[in-house]
Amino acid sequence: MGEDRRSFLKLAGLAALCAAGKSSLSRLEGSAETTSVEAPKGVRRAMVVDLVKCLEKDDCTACTEACRRAHNVPSIPDPKHEVKWIWQERFRDVFPDEEAPFAAEALTARPALVFCNHCDNPPCARVCPTQATWKRPDGIVMMDWHRCIGCRYCMAACPYGSRSFNWEDPRPHIKALNRDFPTRTKGVVEKCTFCDELIDKGQPPACVAACKEKAMTFGDLNDPGSEVRRLLRSRFAIRRKPGLGTQPEIYYLV
Amino acid sequence: MLEKALTGGKGYWRWVTLLLGLMALGFLSYMRQFATGLGITGLSRDVTWGLYIAQFTFLVGVAASAVMVVLPYYLHDWKAFGKITILGEFLAIAAVTMCMLFIFVDMGQPTRVVNIILYPTPHSLMFWDMISLSGYLVLNVLISHVTLDAERKGVKPPAWIKPVIILSIPWAISIHTVTAFLYSGLAARPFWLTAILAPRFLASAFSSGPALLILMCLILRRITRFDPGSEPVQKLALIATYAMSINVFFVLMELFTALYSGIPEDIEHFEFLFLGLNGRTTLVPWMWAAEILAVTALVLLINPRTRRKESTLAVGCVAVFLSIWIEKGLGMVVTGFVPSPLGKVTTYVPTVPELLISLGIYATGLLLITLFYKIALSLRGQVAA
């Protein structure tokens, strides 16, 4: 995966150089932030989360644990220093605009899964001063933990609280070390990467594979015959804070 | 020229030693932070920026305020400011240096900070902030050096420096505008997402900066033979008065829009500032103190009698400075994070190492100001015997 990232960076650098050579700055920015409308070709990764299925088993943390193991996500007891890739929050905090005034408290307090939205128009990638976070052509918002300077501007810019910072050395807090995935150092930001290391090998993300209820579906939004498109056709889905124009690629079936 | 800083009386050396001691303390604390990580601060997953970035924001304003002596002197030929333009420029150099240090100590991976230059990213406002701040530093170093050198030789400054000085005027506006854009361009943070943020930053800068310069003039007059006369002090006081009135007006406009529109996510932040949210009231006493200070300042500054009397003017200037320091150096940054996008209300209180590092940086800035003023006043033969 390290190799992949490097070759991608080289390609991106080359492309940027060429673009800068022949066009203005605004053109360069325009080409870096392709929107869904402009890019009908190619693959666009997305996830559909079935909130009803997700709640079938109480206190289930299979996806969180699978992600933790796959990516060496530390278990830090101090909530102020926590590192989280995929976790649960109360429905009303996840969807503050979806107010349901007379719903039972138990309903709005029920958990919903949250993780990086892999926005089509990611504010984090826009503000990053070193391009340590960027959007891949297939829509995955990636991180380079070796380039990140730890300024945390991306955390201020993310409207979903999806990013974590390593306030301390995470390594002592890793329960079971996965030698096939890098650990991080103190002082860098990290988040969900849609398991780029797995999907590039044609496998589903670790959380999707771990969910016995099959509440999470991963696929290509640009393929009308894909499972994600079928689900989005058949049921009503919501996204987090759609009004901000970030175009999240995580859809929640309600 | 620099050797002038190496001679001085007992009081001078005591002051310099004190500052060096504070700097050493700050440096040792920073070494601890460097070794263990930013977890040593009071920052957290939800409140990711705190004292460091807030001080940076406040000091950008102090740096920009040099324009309030440069502009009237060079564009409007206000001769009264002739003696104090150099004080403004030196203040700007010290303030920008502190800004850069505050940014540096906030980095999680300080050894990689050159990545900002290695991978220039025009779509990041931080890139532009780096350019505007370093450019402003270079401009002020150049201008103060050339004009002071000419003064030492008893000749007129070379003609080519005039356009450079004129350039420094819009540049000063730009540093605080770009700094405001760092915040006001984020859809994720309703508290900062306001078009009036840059004008507000400028108004608060142009009141706190001149207030500080007035206080410095008064102090210098006491401990040295430097006497700017009462005219420039009174003109600065007038500038501070107008700017502070505009600043308070802008704050009230923010409050009106948030409170009258009644949008909960806008109101919550102001609630946290002035009333407390979910029982978290860390900033409440500070913010009320800032408001009382602001009103006191306005009363003392707007009233011509108290403005003209130096003792009451000094009190007014201290009130302006403290009020804006609380507003920008404590309230503005942290409140953007409370409540968080997931509705969390997290308390942020700076830790002892964090305070010592900040104090060390302020000591560095004060030392620079001391040395610069010492050099400038020695050249003019105005240092007390």
DSSP string, A4-24: HHHHHHHHHHHHHHHHHHHS-
Contact B122 A114 (CB under 8 A): no
What's the rounded mean pLDDT across residues B261-286? 93
How much is the pLDDT for B229? 87
Contact of A65 with chain B, judged by CB distance below 8 Å, is answered with no
Q: Which residues of A touch B345 (CB under 8 A)?
A: none
Q: Which residues of B touch A89 (CB under 8 A)?
A: 342
Residue A1 pLDDT > 80: no
Residue A168, SS3 per DSSP: coil
Residue B273 pLDDT > 70: yes
Q: Which residues of B touch A186 (CB under 8 A)?
A: 36-39, 108
Contact B187 A126 (CB under 8 A): no
Contact B39 A81 (CB under 8 A): yes
Residues A179, A183, A184: CA angle, nearest 5 degrees: 170
Looking at CA atoms only, how far is residue A111 from chain B in angstroms? 12
Rg of chain A on CA atoms, in Å: 18
Domains belonging to chain B, first-starting first, are 2-379 (1.20.1630.10)
Contact B112 A80 (CB under 8 A): no
Mutate to test the interface with B, among A80, A83, A92, A145 (most CBs of B within 10 A): A80
CA separation for the pair B345, B206 (Å, rounded)? 33
Contact B115 A158 (CB under 8 A): no
Q: What share of chain B has pLDDT > 90, as a percent?
A: 86
Q: Which residues of B touch A152 (CB under 8 A)?
A: 48-49, 106, 108
CA separation for the pair A219, B114 (Å, rounded)? 38
DSSP string, A62-82: HHHHHHHHHHT----SSGGG-
In chain A, residues 159-178 whose CB comes closer than 8 Å to chain B: 159-161, 164-169
Contact A150 B108 (CB under 8 A): yes
Residue A226 pLDDT > 70: yes
- Any idea which of A244-253, B4-13, B247-256, B277-286 has the lowest mean pLDDT? B4-13
pLDDT in tens, A152-209: 999 999 999 999 999 999 999 999 999 999 999 999 999 999 999 999 999 999 999 9
Of B44, B48, B112, the CB nearest to A149: B112
- Per-residue confidence band for A100, with pLDDT thresholds at 50, 70 and 90: confident
Residue B57 pLDDT > 50: yes
What's the rounded mean pLDDT across residues A227-234? 95
How does DSSP classify residue A141?
Answer: E
- Per-residue confidence band for B163, with pLDDT thresholds at 50, 70 and 90: very high
pLDDT in tens, B84-140: 999 999 999 999 999 999 999 999 999 999 999 999 999 999 999 999 999 999 999
Of B71, B126, B18, which is closest to residue A149 (Cα–Cα)? B126
pLDDT in tens, B325-367: 999 999 999 999 999 999 999 999 999 999 999 999 999 999 9
Of B185, B269, B111, which is closest to residue A159 (Cα–Cα)? B185
How much is the pLDDT for B157? 92
CA separation for the pair B147, B84 (Å, rounded)? 12
Contact B126 A129 (CB under 8 A): yes
| Beta bridge mates, B280 | B277
pLDDT in tens, A6-45: 555 555 555 554 444 444 444 334 444 444 444 456 899 9
Residue A213 pLDDT > 70: yes
Neighbouring C-alpha atoms within 13 Å toward the C-beta of A194: 27
Of B57, B56, B55, B52, which is closest to residue B42 (Cα–Cα)? B52
Of A149, A156, A165, the CB nearest to B186: A156
In chain B the first and final C-alpha atoms are separated, in Å, by 19
How much is the pLDDT for A8? 53
How much is the pLDDT for A110? 85
Contact of A19 with chain B, judged by CB distance below 8 Å, is answered with no
Of A89, A129, A159, the CB nearest to B121: A129
Q: Which residues of B touch A151 (CB under 8 A)?
A: 106-108, 126
pLDDT in tens, B286-316: 999 999 999 999 999 999 999 999 999 999 9
CB atoms within 10 A of CB B17: 10
Residue B167 pLDDT > 70: yes
Looking at CA atoms only, how far is residue A88 from chain B in angstroms? 11
Of B37, B122, B265, the CB nearest to A187: B37
Q: What is the ipTM of this complex?
A: 0.92
Residue type, A128: C
Mean pLDDT (chain B) is 94
pTM: 0.90
Q: Which residues of B touch A185 (CB under 8 A)?
A: 109
Q: What share of chain A has pLDDT > 70, as a percent?
A: 84
Of B167, B291, B317, B311, which is closest to residue B239 (Cα–Cα)? B317
Residue B206 pLDDT > 80: yes
Contact B301, B236 (CB under 8 A): no
Contact B123 A29 (CB under 8 A): yes
Residue B239 pLDDT > 50: yes
CA separation for the pair B197, B217 (Å, rounded)? 30
Q: Which residues of B touch A144 (CB under 8 A)?
A: none
How much is the pLDDT for A101? 79
Residue A29, SS3 per DSSP: helix
CA separation for the pair A184, A73 (Å, rounded)? 9
pLDDT in tens, B64-77: 998 999 999 999 98
Contact of A30 with chain B, judged by CB distance below 8 Å, is answered with no
